Amino acid sequence: MENALGQPQTIVLLGGTSDIGLAIVRHLLNPTTLAVVLACRNVEAGERAAAGLRSDGVVVDVVAFDGAATGTHAEFARSLSDKHGDIDVAIIAFGILGDGSETKVDCDAAAELTNINFTGVVSSTIAVANQMRRQGHGSIVMLSSVAGERVRRANPVYGATKAGIDGFAQGFGDVIAADGVHMLIVRPGFVHSKMTTGLKAQPFATTPEKVAAATVKGLRSKRRIVWAPGILRFMFIVLRHLPGPVWRRLPLG
């Protein structure tokens, strides 16, 4: 349970090797933190990520988690509560970017990306939220993206999953608020990370650490939505309303 200062004692990261997710964990760590759970499909990579956290004296539990295996999510969330007690913060950070040139034409590739990024995220979020609702407290950080604010032609399937997740998180956040659970939606722009290696950086590109700092500030003030960097909020007030022919001519992919 969070202490009197609102500092989380148990932090769960779904997508335990995510650069942004790990940065958020580091920013959340405090002297009262009891455990961090890194849940990931690649446990070996998760152990490497955990090593950096353990060097600071934090107890880190690396567990196998498959975002696409929706039938396992309810039991997985229950096992977290059984082992670690109350879950104070859960960060939903798993997903794949996919190759836009492939997912625009390959039905199987598009379905795989959609199943992980949307169906898997919805399922696992509800599973974790059910545990928090029983507790009567907790915060969920949903890593959305500005890609979902107006889906670009470069990677429309990925953008569509982010648009869907963002909408789900807004509506579901209103549901769980009645049970004392806070939903924070984080909308980063282009982030320099493993996922974007080799891609051309977009305007106002940022870093995992800067996204994490904005996220933790948003958690502490019980914000509903955080943009990272904040200027993107004002940019998309304009961009989301541009006529289609104008939007298509922009050099955004």
**Cα–Cα distance for residue pair 25/62, rounded to 1 Å:** 14
Distance of CA 231 to the CA centre of its chain: 20
Find the catalytic residue in 158, 168, 172, 227: 158
> Would residue 119 show up in a list of annotated catalytic residues for this protein?
no
Residues tagged active-site? 158
